[in-house]
């Protein structure tokens, strides 16, 4: 059974988009992302600022759902890719995912 009832949109304190995983009345995870105006090749690029999940839900697929929702929202906002760096890792360790847009552009 999926413990998450909804993935809701909310705004972070700085106005960045935030996706929140909710179980009943309890927030169990969230992802905050931002849209860079232009990447090196002239395309929009998003950056996943943070993804946090309650420790006992790690490995449940909820973190992946948060990431996928952030990526879909970023693509809808015009991003061609989303990047996520891991704190404490060398700068070369960045997850970069090309986004496919759906619908008409």
The CATH number of the domain holding residue 82 is 3.40.630.30
How many domains, the chain? 1
37, part of any domain? yes
36, part of any domain? yes
pTM for the model stands at 0.73
What pLDDT score does 13 carry? 66
Measured in Å, how far apart are the chain's first and last C-alpha atoms? 37
Mind listing the pLDDT tens digit for each residue in 2-28?
544 445 566 666 778 888 888 888 889
Please list the alpha-helical segments (H only) found in the chain.
Answer: 62-76
Residues spanned by the domain of 68 = 6-98
21, part of any domain? yes
Beta-bridged to residue 103, according to DSSP, are none
104, part of any domain? no
């Amino acid at each position: 059974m999926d413990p998450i009832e909804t993935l809701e949109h909310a705004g972070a304190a700085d106005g960045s988009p935030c996706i929140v995983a909710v179980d009943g009345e309890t927030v169990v995870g969230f992802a905050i992302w931002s849209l860079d105006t232009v990447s090196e090749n002239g395309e929009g690029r998003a950056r996943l600022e943070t993804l946090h999940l309650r420790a006992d839900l790690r490995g449940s697929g909820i973190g992946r759902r948060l990431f996928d929702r952030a990526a879909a929202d970023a693509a809808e906002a015009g991003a061609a890719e989303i990047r996520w760096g891991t704190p404490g890792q060398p700068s070369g360790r960045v997850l970069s995912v090309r986004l496919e847009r759906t619908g008409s552009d």
